Structures are given as C-alpha cells and as structure tokens.
Amino acid sequence: MTIENSINKHFLYPGTIFAEPAEYLISTVLGSCVAVCLWDKVVHVGGMNHIMLPLWNGEGLATPKYGNIAMEKLLAKVISIGARRESLTAKVFGGANVSGTGLEVFMIGERNTTLALEMLEEFRIPILAKDVGGRVGRKIIMNSATGVVMVGKGKKTD
Amino acid sequence: MNVTDDALMEELSNRFAQSRKAFSDLSVVNRKLLEMNERLERSESLKSNFLSNIRNEINNPLNAIMGLSHQLTLVCGDNKEIISLAALIGAEAATLDFQLQNIFMAAELEAGEVNPRCVKFHLSTTLKEVVDTFQHSAAYKNVRLIFTANVGSEDVVVATDSTLFQLIISNLLANAIEFSHPGGVAEVSCAIVGDGGIQVTVRDYGIGIATEDQRRIFDRFVQLETGTTRSHLGHGLGLSVAKALVDLLQGTIGLESAPGTGALFTVHLPPCTASDDESTFAESGNLFLFDDMSEA
C-alpha cells in the first residue's frame, strides 16, 4: 500500500472531529468506537468523527466523544467548510465487540453503531458503505477529497 | 457436558429475545435523552463558536498586560509601591489567564478540535515548572507545595502532549491549593510506571470529598458548595477540563478522598501511540476499499 506523501495527513484522536477544505488523509483506529465519514459528492469535501460512547449524559464536558454530540458537530463542521446537506453521503465503520462478552451493558460497539445509523437517518444522509460490528478492530483511512475510505481489519484495539 | 440441540436452540433464542428487548428499551431511552439534549446542544454550539472566535481578541490584550506589568517592575527604579502594584497586576492577570485557558480549552474540547501533539519532554523539569507557577498563589493561602520526583533519573524523558499535560496538572494543583487548609501542605509527585506511562499524584490534606460526591466533581460548573455563601474560588470548570484532557490522552484519573482527610488525585497517562504509519495494515494484510465510484 503506497500512499502519496504529498497529501496532508491527520491522525484523528478518539473523541475529536476533523474536517478541512484541503485534501487530507484522515486516519483513525477503531475498536468499539465508531467513525462516521461524511463526504459531499458534489463539492468533494468531507470529514470524520470518532465516537467512543453513544450519548452524553450531562456529565463532564459535552465533547464529541459522545455520539449524539459528535454527529451534530461533524455535520455542522462539514457544512461550515462548504459541503451541502443535500449532497452529503456517509460511510460508517467500527463498533466491534472486542471484549467478546455478550452482556448488554457492555455492547458499546453495537450501541455506538445504532446511534450513528439512527442519526444519519434522521439527517436524511444516505449511507453508501458500512463495515461495522464483528470481533476485531479496524484502522481506516479516508481521503477527504475523493471520499474513498480504506479499511484494514484484524488488529485488536480498544 | 451434553446439551441437546433443542435446548441449545431454545437458550439461544431466549438470549436473542432478551437482547432485542434490551435494545428496544435502550432506544426509547436514547430517544428521550436525544430530545433533552437537543436544545442544550444548540446553545452549546453557539457558545463554542463564540469562544473560538474571540480567543485571540482576549488573549492578545491579556498577554500585553502581563508583559507590561513585568516591564513596569523593571523600569520604575526602586519605588517599592509601584513595584508591588505592578507585581499584583501581573499576578492577577496570570490568574485570569489560567481561567481563560480553561474556558478556551473546554470550548475546544467540546468542538472536538484539540489534537494532541506527541512530544518528548523531561517529566520532572516540566512538572517542577508547573509547581513553581503556583508558588505565588500557594504562599498567598499559606499552603506549602512539596514536589517529589520518584523517577530513577531526574531527567526521564516521556512522550505525550506537554501543553495538555501541564494544564491537567495545573488544574489539579489549583484545586489542591484552593481546598487546603491555611498552613497545610499540598504534595505533587511523579513516577514512571510499568508501561512507560506517566503517573502523577496530587495530594492535599484539606476538606476532602464525600464518596457520593466524587463522581460529580468532574462535571462542568460544579462546586459542591453552592449558593452565595460558598467560600471557594473558581468556576468548577477546571476538573472537568482535566478529566476530558486525560480522556483524550487515553489515560485515567483516579480520586481517593474522604471528608476531612483531603484528596488524592492520581493521573496515569500512557505513552502516546498515535501515528500515521501504515504498519497496522501490514499485520492484517486484509484490506478493503470503500470507493464511491463503484457504487455511484
């Protein structure tokens, strides 16, 4: 896998958001976390979030580590860099059940995924691709100018 | 152990039914929470945008005040009165600067725009500098600060974001000083733990925190003593910023405390692992391409 060095790169930390007008390779590593890639198929800009937990419960800061905050903020951010809501498309990755337990309370991955998909439906943004669930972590790299996302699987992480 | 197919199927379908039930319950609760949060979020985002816009407009004049007050102490000769006034202006401006750093950091954290930059730095030296910036306010409250570096060498180099690290420790230290009794001590110590991570403890012997309140202290704008009679400074943002920063750096923050015995905060930060390298691909060799062109 060779990736051109001339393109800007950004490593997305859990709980953060990235969207810039320039072309970027945005990479992140996902276990039970979910990343949503929003991309405007007309304007060719996009961004990514990294959801760690489904809902902000009012404790601590309202950071985008929580899905409901992260989805709203990513949408606002891609629109602020020129994307148009009606031409946005989405790709959803992550949400693995890496701990391997079946206990509901611990199924963070599945709950993160459900929340992301529900909010995309609410935003009426079509989901072009998704690779969610399973038992292993993923590493993803999104090209913010082409909307192409590459996914590497098999590495167990949190 | 022998299990019949039927029994196994029944158990499985029971479990699936339970899962579905739990999920539908959850989604109802989720929906309610979402509605509750929506309005809150709207005002939140207004606030965040506002803060990131005015950041420079506040920081520049404040830096000028701090710089000029320092200049003033240098140029006014040996007029004691002016020197002490200028020093006071400087100290107050520095306090304001610290509060604003927290407010802006909270806004950036909530916007998801804090990107840790992994750098190598000397743990004990950096920590000593942070402790020294609080000597003034500690002396004012008659609290003695004790710093111990439990590291093999005085110059252990660690890798994490040093700016964020300093803000985390500053907030714990400010908290420790604020809630110490006059004449008390506050202790800061650091160590390198097994995984190469940093462990810093900040201990005070002040009023302490009851177990039932220990979760709440990391919330925003929470001071346990509320109302007009509250006797402590601060806006209740510091610990929530510290917690969110520790989360961002994938560390943990622990608290041991009981009323009357003070509080012990323990921060553990792993060595930072973020990287853009593609080595994780090589290990899996299992690549999928999600390309719009083929699906359009």
Choices 2.60.40.790, 3.90.1150.10, 3.30.1330.200, 3.90.960.10: CATH for A8-152: 3.30.1330.200
Is A9 in a helix, a strand, or coil? strand
| Cα gap A49→B164, rounded to integer Å | 21
Write out pLDDT tens, residues A115-152: 999 999 999 999 999 999 888 889 999 999 999 999 98
Does residue B211 lie in a domain region?
Answer: yes
Residues B169 and B222 in one domain: yes
B200, β-bridge pairs? B190, B267
Answer yes or no: is pLDDT of B62 > 50.
yes
Which residue in chain B is spatially nearest to A59 when comparing CA positions?
Answer: B219
Answer yes or no: is pLDDT of B152 > 80.
no
| Cα gap B93→B99, rounded to integer Å | 10
**pLDDT for position B176:** 92
Q: Confidence class of residue B294 from pLDDT cuts 50, 70 and 90?
A: very low
CA distance A156 to chain B (A): 10
Write out pLDDT tens, residues B166-223: 999 999 999 999 889 999 999 999 888 877 788 999 999 988 888 878 877 777 665 5
Range of the domain at B212: 119-269
> Tokens representing B192?
């390198």
User: What is the interface size between A and B, counted as CB pairs within 8 Å?
Assistant: 142
Query: pLDDT above 70 covers what percent of chain B?
Result: 80
| Matching residue, tokens 């604020």 | B178
Report ipTM (2 d.p.). 0.73
Are the beta carbons of A57 and A114 closer than 8 angstroms? no
**pLDDT for position B264:** 93
A48, β-bridge pairs? A18, A37
B33/A62 Cβ within 8 A: no
- Point out the residues of chain A with pLDDT beneath 70: 1-5, 99-106, 155-158
**pLDDT for position B113:** 85
Residues B108 and B212 in one domain: no
Asked if A46 reaches chain B (Cβ–Cβ under 8 Å), the answer is no
The domain total for chain B is 2
| Cα gap A98→A104, rounded to integer Å | 14
Answer yes or no: is pLDDT of B127 > 80.
yes
The residue with greater pLDDT, B40 or A8, is A8
B244/A63 Cβ within 8 A: yes
A49/B112 Cβ within 8 A: yes
CA distance A34 to chain B (A): 15
Does residue B292 lie in a domain region?
Answer: no
Are the beta carbons of B151 and B120 closer than 8 angstroms? no
Judged by phi (left if over 0) then psi (alpha if -120 to 50, else beta), residue B249 lies in: alpha
Q: Which of B113, B138, B172 is the last residue of a domain?
A: B113
Rg, C-alpha atoms of chain B: 25
Answer yes or no: is pLDDT of B289 > 90.
no
Does residue B170 lie in a domain region?
Answer: yes
- Interval B245-259 mean pLDDT: 90
Helix axes B5-75, A67-80, angle to 10 degrees: 60
DSSP string, B17-54: HHHHHHHHHHHHHHHHHHHHHHHHHHHHHHHHHHHHHH
| Matching residue, tokens 């390198």 | B192
CA distance B22 to chain A (A): 7
Residues B26 and B41 in one domain: yes
Which CATH number does the domain housing residue B215 bear? 3.30.565.10
- Interval B31-50 mean pLDDT: 69
Are the beta carbons of A17 and A70 closer than 8 angstroms? yes
Q: Which residues of A are catalytic?
A: 33
Domain ranges, ordered by start, for chain A = 8-152
Asked if A66 reaches chain B (Cβ–Cβ under 8 Å), the answer is no
Q: Considering only the beta carbons, identify the residue of B26, B45, B291 that sits closest to A111.
A: B26
